[in-house]
Structure 1
Amino acid sequence: MIHKREEMKGPKRPIQSVSTWVRRQPPKIKAFLALVSGMAALVFLRMVVHDHDNLFVSSEGVHALGISVLIYKLTKEKTCAGISLKSQELTAMFLAVRLYCSFVMEFDIHTLLDSAALATTLWVIYMIRFQLKSSYMDDKDNFAIYYVVIPCAVLSLVIHPTTNHHIVNRILWALCVYLEAVSVLPQLWVMQNIKIVEPFTAHYVFALGVARFLNCAHWVLQVLDTRGRLLTALGYGLWPSMVLLSEIVQTLILADFCYYYVKSIFGGQLVLRLPPGVV
């Protein structure tokens, strides 16, 4: 009888078999597999992408694509269900600080990109707070952001760039780096609370994950290409290591979600169902 049921179900797809095997592994094995996968991806990018600055451009492009998906959801579906207002506010916070630092410290193309990103984020916040307030899941968006803002502020006072800029600007520069690393946590918290994530929100968060990975890969490969000289160019002390660590933390925070997203896509599911403990 069991054999007949298995025959009726048919053979598992390779991706499903691998997913089932990975899911059954203990946490330490999963962490090791994630590390190996990340290193393999970095090796692949280093071989394929000759100018590693293109990784940063690609990161900005993927991020813009994710924001476009979010804008489509808000304007066409007229709902902000599943979107974290607190995450958007943290994003606006670090973008505003980074934009200020960019103006006073190193005005370049990144300043223009940050200006566009900040304007878009403020528009999203306006839509959630006023135009689509009735669909906002206030009870699910209950992540206490002071748990991340206060530690980031304290850390920026202790560990910041050692350049020749004014001390206030250097502290603010560090603050925006640390805030960016944790800005997506409220969004992941909302999705964990509701368990089922509709497609457009899932696409948006996955785009953030890909963008963060590409940005992290850009930093890591730049460090390898310059044989560590890039870190010394950022200053001395703990600050260079903290910049690199922040990039890695951003990637790791979203790695688990991206795994379930890819698994869901290959499984042909239109909505993403998160198991307990993803966040």
Structure 2
Amino acid sequence: MDGHYRKNAKSIEGMIRRASTKEKAAVACSVVTLILLAMRFFITDHDVLFLLAEFVHFVGIGFLAYKLLKHKNCTGLSLKTQQLTAAFLAIRLYCSLMMEYDWHTLLDALTLAATIWVCKMMKTSVRTTYNENLDPTPLAIIVGPCVVLAVFAHPTTRHWWINRVAWATCVYLEAISVLPQLQMMQKARVVERFTANYVFALGVARFLSCAHWILQVFDGKSYLQTALGKGIWPVMVLVSEIVQTGILADFCYYYVLSFAQGDANVHLPV
């Protein structure tokens, strides 16, 4: 049975590898479209998708916690991405407390606490296993442009200006916070399973969050206009969500491919 499974997996892998870039893109778009249509007709409350995305993110951190506690190392893990994650979660938690208060606030608080714990572990208990040379991205290069962009493109709601700018900064930071982690993995080319599980969870969470906002476009109650205001800001939210999903899509492809092959690690191309 195992041999038959591996044979089928290799056959599927061969078909995927032989397909052209256009064919892969067409198949991916078709699958995503079908999933979105299914969500559109079977999920009445689209806000559930956003809650689910936050829950999946929290589960992803659980993989990191197991790795740090059980294996006592943080090999392949980017401290910069964890710090950026903590930053946008802290900002989002502040905005939730100032502008709204719901289940998102609780999930953000739990995820923020877990992320801060991961950062602390990487700086103390497992510091000797952290490869700083593979994680050189200056945080200012990422944070600075996000703040500047937020000043010019932010919600047009009735909340205080500083809170609206903070909210926009959070959205932009979240969109590119995973870049240091992806750069680190690209340099290493081999990603061990627990780190790979975490990044894949981020990819799933980002897809669910992106689906949430895309489906809101078709919401007859004009949710985007009510919650986000008018102007360029709703467009920027959608673009940010799509960028996040696109950034992680390539890794998720190789993750699924490695899983189908039965590999313990994820192997990335040059």
The TM-score normalised by the length of structure 2 is 0.92
2:183 corresponds in structure 1 to 189
CA offsets, 1:223-249, max 9 Å, x none?
21337x122221111001111111111
Q: Deviations over 1:108-157 (max 9, x none)?
A: 22222211111111110000011111000111112233332222111101
Give the aligned partner of residue 10 of structure 2: 16
Distance in 2 between residues matched to 1:271 and 1:35, nearest whole Å: 27
Q: Deviations over 1:64-108 (max 9, x none)?
A: 211111111111110011110000000011111111111111122
- Superposition pairs of residues 136-151 of structure 1, within 5 angstroms: 136-151=130-145
User: Counterpart of 2:132 in 1: which secondary structure?
Assistant: coil
Change (3 A) 1:143 1:24: farther
Structure 1 residue 54 and structure 2 residue 48: aligned? yes
Q: Does 1:273 align with 2:267?
A: yes
1:219 CA displacement: 1.6
Q: CA RMSD in A?
A: 2.0
SS in structure 1 of the partner of residue 263 of structure 2: coil
The amino acid of 2:70's aligned partner reads: K
Question: Which of 85, 93, 100 matches 1:91?
Answer: 85
Q: Is the 8 A contact 2:55 2:107 kept in 1?
A: no
Aligned to 2:70: 76
Aligned residue pairs, count: 267
The one-letter code matched in structure 1 to 2:16 is V
- Confirm or deny: 8 A CA contact 1:159 1:238 kept in the other structure: yes
Match of 1:166 in 2: 160
Deviation of residue 13 (structure 1)? 4.1
Is residue 31 of structure 1 aligned with residue 25 of structure 2?
yes
Q: Do residues 116 (structure 1) and 80 (structure 2) align? A: no
Structure 1 runs of 4+ with >6 Å offset: 9-12
Code of the aligned partner of 1:74: L
| DSSP 3-state at the match of 2:124 | helix
**Contact between 1:145 and 1:186, CA under 8 Å: does it hold in 2?**
no
Pairing 1:103–2:97 present: yes
Shift, 1:182, TM fit? 0.6
1: CA distance, partners of 2:122 / 2:6: 42
Q: Call closer, same or farther: CA 1:107–1:21 in 2, change over 3 Å.
A: same
Please name the residue that 2:213 is paired with: 219
User: Equivalents in 1 of 2:105, 2:34: separation in Å?
Assistant: 32
Task: Please state whether the residue corresponding to 2:34 is helix, strand or coil.
Answer: helix
Max Rg structure: 1
Given the alignment, which residue of 119, 122, 125 partners 1:131? 125
Describe the shift of the 1:148–1:20 C-alpha distance in structure 2 as closer, same or farther (beyond 3 A): farther
What's the counterpart of residue 63 of structure 1?
A: 57
Measured against aligned partners, the alpha-carbon deviations of 1:23-71 in whole angstroms (never above 9, x if no partner) come to: 3444444333332222122123334434333222322221121111111
- Kindly tell me: are residues 203 and 125 of structure 1, through their superposed partners in 2, closer, same or farther at Cα, counting changes over 3 Å? same
Mapped pair 1:238 → 2:228: no
User: Which stretch has the larger CA shift, 53-62 or 84-93?
Assistant: 53-62
The percent of aligned pairs where both chains have the same amino acid is 52
- Write the letter of the residue equivalent to 1:57: L
Change (3 A) 1:256 1:113: same
Match of 1:175 in 2: 169
1:153 matched residue in structure 2: 147
Partners of 1:95 and 1:114 within 8 A in 2:
yes
CA distance in 2, matches of 1:148, 1:34: 29
